[in-house]
Structure 1
Amino acid sequence: MKRLFFVLFTLCCTIAAQAAQYQQHNLQGNTLNIQTDSGQLSLTFYQSDVVEAFYQSEGVKQLPSFSISQQSQPQQLRLTESAAALTLGSASLTVKINKAPLQLSYYYQGKLLLAEEQGYFQQQQRQQQPQQHGFRFALSDSEKLLGGGQRVLGMDRRGQKFPLYNKAHYGYSTESSQMYFSLPAVMSSNKYLLLFDNSAKGEADLGHTEPGIMQFSAEGGRSSYVVVAGDSYPALLNNYTALTGRQPLPARWTLGNYASRFGYRNEAETRAVVQKFRELKLPLDALVLDLYWFGPDIQGHMGNLDWDKNAFSQPEKMLADLKADGVNTILVTEPFILTSSKRWQEAVAAGAIAPGLDGQPKTFDFYFGNTGLIDVFNPKAQDWFWQIYKGLAEQGVAGVWGDLGEPEVHPEDTVHAIGTANEVHNAYGHQWADMVYSGMRRDFPSQRPFIMMRAGAPGSQRFGMVPWTGDVERSWGGLKPQVELALSMGLFGFGYIHSDLGGFAGGEQFDKELYIRWLQYGVFQPVYRPHAQEHIAPEMVFHDKQTIETLRPWLNLRYQLLPYNYTLAYQNSLTGMPLMRPLFFSENSLADEQNAALMDEKNSYFWGDAFLVAPVTEPGVTSWPVQLPGGVWLDYFSGKRYAGNNRVEVPVTINTIPVLVKAGSFVPMAELVQSTQHYSSEKLTLHYYADPSVECAKGEMYEDDGKTPDAIANGQFELLNFYYLKQDGQQKFELRRSGDYAGKPASRELTLVIHNQTARPATINIDGQRIQLVPQQARFNRMQNVAWYDKASKQLKVKINWLVDKQQILIR
C-alpha cells in the first residue's frame, strides 16, 4: 500500500499539467497549426518521412532549434477530419490527432510506429526546483532503444534513465551514464527515430521509472520533437541527416596518421617527433599541439590563444616547414579566458565574456585558474573569438581542436545572449563549431575545415565536427566500450567519432599488448590519432622495435586503404551513413528477429560494406568470438571461409585481430605513401572476394583532389564503379569510370586480385583480347596486361592498363 501511494504521489508531482483540448486548425503548406486551450501545436512535414511536433504553450519561452537545418520540402499532404480526430498524412507517414484530449499517434505505411502517452507536459516536482517540460510516449513490449549519445550502458538503452547534460567523465572505463556528448534522441527497433529538439539541461527516462513509458524532459529550451520514419535503419539515418545536416567531405589528410600527446612543449620537440616518424618510415599526416603552445605549464595561461614565443620562437616558419613535409598542424583551443591571461581585458572590452545575473562578466574558479566563459551565442563574442582563429589560419594552422566545450564548468547563473546556462548548455559546443566552420568557409573558401570537438548537439555534424570519446582510462576497461560509443554516435550522423588510441588517462606502466590492440583497432576507426598523457608515449615511434614492427603493417594498411576509406567518407557526406556501422545494418540479415538480436552487439562492427572488425579487448587470448550476420565471410589474414548467421571463434595472434571480408566485396587499395600529399591513384590494386554463393556484386570508389571544398556539389570528382557477374561458367568483371577533376590520372595501372579463386582459369580476355597467364610472379610484376595464379593462396591477379571509361575482364 505504501508503494502504491508513493507511485501515485510521484506521478501527481511529475505530471502537473492537464492534457490540452483541441479548438480549431488550419493547414498552411506543409504545416498544420492546431489551436488548443493552452496554446498552439504545429505539425510540420520536412520530408515525406519526417514530421515535427512543436508545442507552443502560452507563457512558455521557446529557444530556436539548433538541430533542424533543412527547409521544409513541398509535400502532397492529405488532411481529413472527423468529430473525434484529425488525420494528416504524406504518401507514407500519417499523424492521427485525437482531439479530446489532444494526443498524437504516428503510422508508417499503415503500421503504428509511435504514440504519445500524454504528449506535452509541464512539471515542477518541488518548489525550489526549476519547472520542466517535455513529452511522454508509449513503448511496445519488446521494443529496443538505441541512442542518447555517449554512454557506456550497452547498445540497448531501454530501461535506463540518464541526464541530458554534456559533462566530462575523466578516466571512464566500462560504465558511464553521463559523458561529454549527450544526444536527446533514440533509434527504435520498431524502425523510427525520435529527436527531442531541445538544448537545455534535461533527462531521458527510457522505461526506467515506468516500464512502458519513454519520457524526455528539460529545464526550458524548445518544446518540440521530431519523428523520423523509414523502411530500413539506414533509411532512418538518411532521412534524419537530411533534416539535421550531413558531414561535409573532409580533406584526405584527415584519414591519415596523427602525432598527438598532452603535449609537445616546444618547437624542437615538435620537429623532433615528426623527424622520428620520417626516419623510421612510418606515415604521418597531422600533428596536434596541446595547451603548451600558448603557455609553459598547465595552469594560468588558458585564454592567451597566442604562441608562447619562448617555446615557439618562429611559429609561422615551423608551420610552413611541417606543411612542406606533408604534416598538417592542429591547435587546441578552449572557450575559457582566464583572468590571468594576456587577453582577459581585451575579451572584456569586446563584450566576449558571458555575464552573470548582475550583468558583469561572470568569473569563477576551475582547475586551470580563475576564468570567464566566452558567450558563443553573442555575435560580438563570436566576432572577437573568430578573429583569433582567422589569425592562426593565416599563419598556416590547418585545423582546430575545441576542448572543454561541454562546457566543462558552466555555472547556472551564467547568462548567455539567448538564455541562461542551463537553457543552452547542450548547444554550446554546437554553436562554437558553427562559428568556426562558418568563418572558415567565408574567409578561407579554398580549404576544407577540420574541427575536432569534445561536445556538441544533434546536427553538429553539418559543421564538419570530428568528435572523440573523451579522456578514456588507459586500460583494458577503457578499450572495451569504444565500439559501443562509436556506434551509438554514428547512428545520429557523427561518422567521425573516434577514441584516443592507446587510452588517455592514467596507466603507470606501459602495457604493450593493450597498446598494440588499441592501435590495431584504430586502423578501422574514422580518425587514427594516438593521444595520451605524456608519461607513457602515445606515439609508436617512441616504443621498442617489436612494438613498432608489430604495428608497422597495420599503419601501412591504413594508408593503403585510403581509396576505400575516402569512399566511405564520400558515402557519409551523401547519406549520413557512418564509417563504422552496426551489424544490424546488414543487408543479409533483414529479418526483424535477426536485426533485433544484432542490435545488442557492441563488440564488433562493419567498416564500410566490406569489412567486419572485432577488436580484441582482453589480454592473452588466442581466439576471439565474432557474431556474423548473414552472408559468407573470409578471414582477411588467412582466407578461411565462414558461414554467416553464426557465432564463431576466430584464431588470433599478437599480429592479428578478427578482420573478415564479406564475400562479393570490392576493396580498392593504393600504393603506400608516407603522407597523403604524395597520394596517387595511378596505381590501384582492386581486391575482389569471390565465393560460389555470390553470383553478382558491385562496388565503387570516389576520387577527387582531396582538398577542394564542395567538390561533390560542383561535380569535381570521378567515380570508379566495379561490377561482377558469374554466368554460364565464366566470371565477368566490368570497370567503369565517369567524372573529372583537376589532377585526374589519364590512365591507371590496375591490378585485380581475386581472392578465394579455387582453380587456375583456362583463359582471360580484356575487352575481347586474350592476355598471357604467366607461371611466375616475377614475370607478372615486370609485364603489362598479364595474369598470374597462386594456387597456395588461391589468388588470381590480373594486371591491366585502364585507359578507357569502360573495360571488361572475362575469365573462363
Structure 2
Amino acid sequence: MISLRFRLAFVVVLFSSVAQAATYQSHQVLDNKLQLQTDEYAVSLSFKSQGAVEVVYQKSGLKQLPSFALVAPELSLVASLNEQPQQLEFATEQLTVRVNKSPFQLSFYRGNELILAEEKGFFAYETMRGFRFKLQDDEKLLGTGQRVVGMDRRGQRLPLYNKASYGYTTEAQQMYFGLPAVMSSEKYLVLFDNSASGFVDLGKTEKEVLQFEAVAGRTAYIVMAAPTYPKLIEEYVTVTGKQPLPPRWALGNFASRFGYRTEAETRAIVDKFAAEDFPLDAVVLDLYWFGPDIQGHMGNLAWDKKAFPNPKGMISDFKAKGVNTVLITEPFVLSTSTRWDEAVQAKALATDLAGKAKTFDFYFGNTGLVDVFSTEGTSWFEGIYNELAEYGVAGWWGDLGEPEVHPSDAIHSIGTADEIHNVYGHRWAELVYQNRLEKQPEQRPMIMMRSGFAGSQRFGMIPWTGDVSRSWDGLKPQVELALQMGLLGLAYTHSDLGGFAGGEVFDKEMYIRWLQYGVFQPVYRPHAQEQIAPEPVLHDKETKDILREYVKLRYRLTPYNYTLAYQNSSTGMPLMRPLFFENEADTSLIANKDSYLWGDAFLVTPVTAAGVKSVPVQLPAGVWLDYWTGKAHQGGKTIEQPTDLTTLPVLVRAGSFVPMVPAVQSLKDYSSRQLELHYYHDQSISQAKGHMYEDDGKSPDSLSKGQYELLTFSAAAKGKSLAFELNRTGLGYTGMPKQRETTLVVHQLAKPATALVNGQALSWVNSAAELVAGSAYFDAKKQQVLLKLNWDQAKARVVLE
C-alpha cells in the first residue's frame, strides 16, 4: 500500500506549485480520447489497453515527432469519464487517471491505490523538455535498457543516447540500448515515447523525483499498471508490440567470429562442426564477406568474389546441411566504397546543412549514413537486401546501429540526428522486417540488431549485449543485462558467448563457464575477435568433450525452449526471468543478479569466477532438485550448490514438466515424434501442470492462424497414486506427428507396484535399453521410473501406484 508520507508529500507538492502550474480551462471526449485545454498547453489522454494510458502534452510552437514506441498510436479504448468540481476521472476497470484542475496535475491509480503522480509534470524550454514525477520512499526502480549498474537503478542519472561500449566489464552507465522506460516495485511502468537524446534521473539529483528530459522529441508518456510483474510486462507488449516467433533454427548453435575471411575458411568451419559431432544451425559472416580488411570497404555490401568466389553455391550447400547463413550489414556507406556514388545519386543518405550527403570520419573510414527514415533511403537499402536474399541468405545482422557515430548536424528526413538518434536501429529493424515479410512471406525473418528502442521487439529483433570484454569481469554482468532487457520486451537479448573484446591468452575455464551458461540463454552464439578461436570445435579435447554435451543438451531442450518462445510471443513473458517474480512481496529479491529462472522449471546460477567449488543460490519457495544429482533442497533459503568444471549450477523446480527430444545435427531434422517427457516429482506436490508448443518452425502466421499444436500435461498425486494426463489441442500444422513415441521419465520416485496406460498394465523390463511401447523400467540408482507409450491424438492417462 502507498505510504501516508507519500500521500502527504503529494498534497504538499500539489499546493506548493500553484503559482507555477497550469490551470484547467476545458475538456471534451473525441474518438475515445479525453482532450484537455489548459492556459499553457493542450493534453490528450487515451487508453491503449485496459491497463495502459497514453498522455500527450502539446505546447504551441513545440515540434512533435510521431510515436515510435506504440504499435498502434491511433488506437484508443472506450473509458469512463466522471467530472467533479475540482477534478476529472478518466478510467477503465484496471487504471484510473485523476486530473486535478487547479493546479493542473495528473495522478494514476490502480483501484484506490495511488501508484504514480506528476510532481511538476510537464516542462518545456528551448533546449529541454520532459516530465517530473513523485517517487515513494521505499520504491525500487528497474529498466532503462542495457546498463551495468545493478538491478535496482534508483539513485542513478542515466544517459538516453544509444552508444557503443567497447570492452565493458562490471560497470557501464551507457550502452547500446538506452530505453526510456522505468519499471517500479509498485508495479507500474512509465514509458517516455521520445526518440531524442536525453537523460532519465531516477532520484539521483532529487531523491524523491523521477525526471525525464530530452533535447527535443515527442512530449508524451504512457503509464501502465498491473497486479503482478508478468502482467505488467504483458501490458507493455500489448501497447508496444509482441515479439514474433523466431524461426526454430535461431534457437540452435551458431558458428560466428570476427570474422571468416574466405569461402574456403567458412566451408571448413562448417565441416569441422560436423566432424567433431557438434550440432550446428547457423554460420555468421562478419564484414570480410564484402572486403579483404576492416577499413575502406564498409558500404560495398556485395560479395568479394576473390574471397568468396561462389557464395550462392556455398550458401546452398550449407542449407542442404541444415546450416543457415547470416550476413552482417551496416548503415554506413564509405566514400571509398563501390556503392558511394549510387547511394548519393539515390538520395539515400542523411544530409548536411547544405542539403548534400553528409560525410564524416570514423574508425572504418570517411562515410555517409543511410537515412532509414526517408523514402529514398528505405528504397535503396531494401534493394540491397533483396539482392542478397537471392543468394539464399537466411538471417540478417544489423551492426553499428546506434548509430555508432552520428554527428549532431546530420539531417534526416524527419529531423536532426539528436532528435531521432535513439530510434535509428529501431527503424532499421522495421525496414528489414517488413521487407523480408513482403518478399518472403512464408519465412519468419531472423534479425539480429545491436541497438533499438522501446517496441523494437515487434520487428523480431534479436539483440545482443555488444562488444563485451573477453574476461571473467565481462561474464559477470550478463545476467543483469539480459534480465533488464527482458523486462522491457527484448527477451532474446544474449551475449557473445566466451566474450568478444581483447584477451590475448585463452582462459579455458572462463570460456567453458560462459558457453555452459549459454545453454540457458535465448541465443547460443559464441563470437569473438579471432586471435582466440570462439568456436568450441577448435579447442582441446577436454574443452570439446565438456561443451559437446552442453550443446547437445541445448538441442535436446528444443521443445522446452521453443515453448518459452511461444509464451513470450503470446504474453511477453521473458525467457530469462528474475527471481523477484517468485515472491513479489519481497523487494529484496530485486537485487539478485546472479541467478535467474529459465522458464518456470530451471533455476540457473552461472559461474563467474575462477576456481569456484560452489556457488550461493537463493532458492525461491518450493522444492528444488539438483539437475545433475537429483538432490532435493527445500526452498526459501540460500544454499551452497557444489560445482565443478563439468557441471553448471542448475536446479529444477519440483512439479515441473520438461519435454525433450534426441539431439540432432541440425534443427532442419527436428522432430518430436520421439518425445521424452520428464516430470520432477516430490511428495509435497499434489497437482502440477505443463505444456509444450509445436508448429512447423518457420511460418510467420502460425500463431495468428492457429496452425499449431499445444500439448498439455498434468500430474495429480493422492496417497501412493500418481496420475498423469497427456492431451493435445490446436488446429495442427503441416508435418505434425500423428503419433509420438513418448517416454515418460518420473524423477525421484520409488518403484510403483503397477504402471497403467489407459487402464492397461505395463510390463516391467530390466534395462532402459529394453523399453518399448507398453513397458516400464525402474532405475534404482537414479530413482527414476521410465515408461513408454505410443501417444496418438487421443488423451492418454498414466497411473503409477
- TM-score tier, shorter chain, comes to over 0.9
> Mean alpha-carbon deviation: is it higher for 18-27 or for 175-184?
18-27
2:685: which partner in 1? 694
Offset at 1:538?
Answer: 0.1
> Residue 496 of structure 1 is aligned with which of 492, 496, 499?
492
Tell me the distance in 2 between the aligned counterparts of 1:768 and 1:421: 70
Tell me the distance in 2 between the aligned counterparts of 1:581 and 1:805: 34
Residue 775 of structure 2 is aligned to residue 786 of structure 1: yes
Distance of aligned partners of 1:107 and 1:390 in 2 relative to their CA distance in 1, 3 Å threshold: same
> Residue 314 of structure 2 is aligned with which of 314, 318, 340?
318
The answer to whether the 8 A contact 1:615-1:658 is kept is: yes
Give the counterpart letter for 2:743 in structure 1: T
Deviations, residues 70-129 of structure 1 (Å, cap 9, x unaligned): 3666645221222221111111211111111211100001101100001101246xxxxx
2:107: which partner in 1? 105
1:161-180 alignment runs, 5 A limit:
161-180=157-176
1:795: which partner in 2? 784
1:769: which partner in 2? 760
> Residue 743 of structure 2 is aligned with which of 751, 764, 775?
751
Give the counterpart letter for 2:737 in structure 1: P
List runs of 5+ in structure 2 lacking aligned partners. 1-12
1:647: which partner in 2? 638
Tell me the distance in 1 between the aligned counterparts of 2:21 and 2:46: 21
Tell me the distance in 1 between the aligned counterparts of 2:763 and 2:217: 70
The answer to whether the 8 A contact 2:170-2:476 is kept is: yes
The secondary structure found in structure 1 opposite 2:704 is coil
Give the TM-score normalised by the residue count of structure 2. Answer: 0.97
1:128: which partner in 2? none
1:6: which partner in 2? none
1:555-634 alignment runs, 5 A limit:
555-586=551-582, 589-590=583-584, 592=585, 594=586, 596-634=587-625
Tell me the distance in 2 between the aligned counterparts of 1:101 and 1:262: 58
1:660: which partner in 2? 651
> Residue 116 of structure 1 is aligned with which of 106, 115, 118?
118
The secondary structure found in structure 2 opposite 1:599 is helix
The answer to whether the 8 A contact 2:67-2:73 is kept is: no
1:722: which partner in 2? 713
Tell me the distance in 1 between the aligned counterparts of 2:477 and 2:51: 33
1:299-338 alignment runs, 5 A limit:
299-338=295-334
2:185: which partner in 1? 189
Tell me the distance in 1 between the aligned counterparts of 2:469 and 2:682: 42
> Residue 50 of structure 2 is aligned with which of 40, 48, 51?
48
The secondary structure found in structure 1 opposite 2:129 is strand
Offset at 1:727?
Answer: 2.2
Offset at 1:381?
Answer: 0.7
Deviations, residues 730-752 of structure 1 (Å, cap 9, x unaligned): 11100001231111111010000
Tell me the distance in 2 between the aligned counterparts of 1:245 and 1:67: 8
1:805: which partner in 2? 794
Residue 419 of structure 2 is aligned to residue 427 of structure 1: no
Offset at 1:755?
Answer: 0.6
Tell me the distance in 2 between the aligned counterparts of 1:556 and 1:83: 67
Tell me the distance in 1 between the aligned counterparts of 2:699 and 2:49: 30
The secondary structure found in structure 2 opposite 1:752 is strand
The answer to whether the 8 A contact 1:664-1:697 is kept is: yes
Tell me the distance in 2 between the aligned counterparts of 1:18 and 1:225: 21
Give the counterpart letter for 2:751 in structure 1: R
The answer to whether the 8 A contact 2:169-2:477 is kept is: yes
Tell me the distance in 2 between the aligned counterparts of 1:289 and 1:16: 61
Deviations, residues 587-634 of structure 1 (Å, cap 9, x unaligned): xx24x1x2x111111111010111010000000010011111111110
1:144-293 alignment runs, 5 A limit:
144-293=140-289
Give the counterpart letter for 1:803 in structure 2: D
The answer to whether the 8 A contact 1:30-1:46 is kept is: no
The answer to whether the 8 A contact 2:25-2:37 is kept is: yes
Deviations, residues 400-449 of structure 1 (Å, cap 9, x unaligned): 10000000000000110001000000000000000000101111101110
Tell me the distance in 2 between the aligned counterparts of 1:213 and 1:642: 42
Tell me the distance in 2 between the aligned counterparts of 1:30 and 1:356: 42
Tell me the distance in 1 between the aligned counterparts of 2:775 and 2:415: 69
Tell me the distance in 2 between the aligned counterparts of 1:728 and 1:513: 47
Tell me the distance in 2 between the aligned counterparts of 1:338 and 1:261: 23
1:70: which partner in 2? 72
Give the TM-score normalised by the residue count of structure 1. Answer: 0.95
Identity score, percent: 59
Report how many residues are paired: 785
Structure 1 runs (4+) deviating above 6 angstroms are none
Tell me the distance in 1 between the aligned counterparts of 2:447 and 2:250: 10
The secondary structure found in structure 1 opposite 2:415 is coil
Q: What is the Cα-based RMSD across aligned positions, in Å?
A: 1.4
Give the counterpart letter for 2:477 in structure 1: P
Residue 82 of structure 2 is aligned to residue 80 of structure 1: yes
Tell me the distance in 1 between the aligned counterparts of 2:76 and 2:477: 42
The answer to whether the 8 A contact 1:17-1:122 is kept is: no
Residue 349 of structure 2 is aligned to residue 353 of structure 1: yes
Deviations, residues 514-542 of structure 1 (Å, cap 9, x unaligned): 00000000000000000000000000011
Tell me the distance in 1 between the aligned counterparts of 2:770 and 2:517: 36
The answer to whether the 8 A contact 2:244-2:460 is kept is: yes
Give the counterpart letter for 2:47 in structure 1: F
> Residue 486 of structure 1 is aligned with which of 467, 482, 489?
482
Give the counterpart letter for 1:98 in structure 2: N
Offset at 1:470?
Answer: 0.3
2:533: which partner in 1? 537
The secondary structure found in structure 2 opposite 1:626 is strand
Give the counterpart letter for 1:24 in structure 2: S
Tell me the distance in 2 between the aligned counterparts of 1:22 and 1:47: 26
Give the counterpart letter for 1:659 in structure 2: V
The secondary structure found in structure 2 opposite 1:55 is strand
Residue 383 of structure 2 is aligned to residue 387 of structure 1: yes
1:20: which partner in 2? 22
Tell me the distance in 2 between the aligned counterparts of 1:515 and 1:21: 61
> Residue 135 of structure 2 is aligned with which of 136, 139, 142?
139
Tell me the distance in 2 between the aligned counterparts of 1:409 and 1:370: 11
Give the counterpart letter for 1:579 in structure 2: L
Deviations, residues 206-237 of structure 1 (Å, cap 9, x unaligned): 00000000000101110001001111000000
Residue 442 of structure 2 is aligned to residue 446 of structure 1: yes
Tell me the distance in 2 between the aligned counterparts of 1:433 and 1:777: 49
Tell me the distance in 2 between the aligned counterparts of 1:22 and 1:261: 59
The secondary structure found in structure 2 opposite 1:395 is coil
Offset at 1:658?
Answer: 1.1
